[in-house]
Structure 1
Amino acid sequence: MDKKAIETYAVWARKELIAQVKQRAYFYGIDEKDYGEKNADVIMGRVLSAKEKSQRNDFIVEIERRGFEQTLEEVAYTWFNRFVALRYMEVNDYLPSHV
């Protein structure tokens, strides 16, 4: 098994996921410097659903607790683990067909 290729991929995937999470945070008006009003109803001209407002607020609470970069790292790490688990289940035929 080529462990160097796996290591290279994991590093690339981590950076890519962090960039995508940061981009999604910006979509909701959150960046490393500011996040605006915690309970905002409208972000960048877009009305947020109740679920989006709740999730945005939870994300802001985590940022206040842990810091912006650490929170991004944790979200990216979680998504990476989920993708790896799905791939493992796919390769080992643990998923139902057509998933």
Structure 2
Amino acid sequence: MLYEKGFKKPFKEIRSRLRISFVAIARECIGNHIRKQLLRSSTSTVAYYRAASVGQTKKCFIAKLSIAIGECDESLFWIEFLADENLLQPKGYEAVYKEAK
């Protein structure tokens, strides 16, 4: 299983660091919306990657991995949005942003 062979730990670490960063996001209407979007896209990245690793065909693997990449890109979008709107301090997202990029 590809997920178990070396990518499990990095993906789980990213997910954990993002979860910690959620606490720092402003608790206002827009902050709540972005928090939910970022949580959804970041956890979907891991879920689709895991699904790809157990895909029974090459076509299935590629399809699931493509979705995982899209979800990861969406997470990057929300992190950039938080940064641009000054809703999260750089120490809350810089490390995970660099790793996800």
TM (normalized to structure 2)?
Answer: 0.36
Which is higher, the Rg of structure 1 or of structure 2? 1
Larger helix proportion of the pair: 2
TM (normalized to structure 1)?
Answer: 0.37
